[in-house]
Amino acid sequence: SQLPYYCCGEVVRGFGRGSKELGVPTANFPEHVVDSLPADLTTGIYYGWGCVGTGDIYKMVMSIGWNPFYKNIKKSVETHIIHQFTDDFYGEILRIVIVGYIRPEKSFDSLDALIAEIHSDIEEAKKQLDLPERRKLKERYFNNSHK
């Protein structure tokens, strides 16, 4: 398997599908970062660790999906950091380590069903990342020795 998989890049603007309005903002990577991911990393929802700039390392959930902006021929990678930030961080460097897979992409009958699923993904991510072997990866992949 390709996991754990480390990757980093600048946070760029998405196409405003209203993630923030749903209470789950998702930080997008630029196209070249998405293109550099292993092609066999299947689309779906993943969990792992994430860190913005020189900030702390937090749990995250992320999706690898098909990008509607490019008529679904390009992938998009969107990370929701499980932390309440005071400000947006467009232009900053986001570093993530993708640790495990949660589920494939789905379509939902209602916005409520989508939101409920996102919350269950977040709970699953938190639970998985509390396991000692997953927690160990947190320090291994981020060199925050400048702090």
In the region spanning residues 81 to 100, those forming contacts with ligand ADP, defined by CB under 6 A, are 81, 83, 85, 88-90
d(CA 138, CA 50): 9
d(CA 139, CA 19): 29
> Site for ligand ADP (CB under 6 A): which residue of 3, 8, 10, 25?
25
Partner that binds at residue 85, options ligand ADP, Mg ion, none, CB closer than 5 to 8 Å by kind: ligand ADP
Tell me whether residue 15 or residue 108 sits nearer to ligand ADP (CB atom).
15
> Contact residues for Mg ion (CB under 5 A)?
14, 19, 26
d(CA 103, CA 19): 19
Active site residues: 78
Q: Is 28 in the site for ligand ADP (CB under 6 A)?
A: yes
Question: What is the smallest separation between the CB atom of 123 and ligand ADP, expressed in angstroms?
Answer: 16
d(CA 13, CA 26): 10
Q: Is 20 in the site for ligand ADP (CB under 6 A)?
A: yes
Interface with ligand ADP (CB under 6 A): 11, 13-16, 19-20, 25-28, 80-81, 83, 85, 88-90
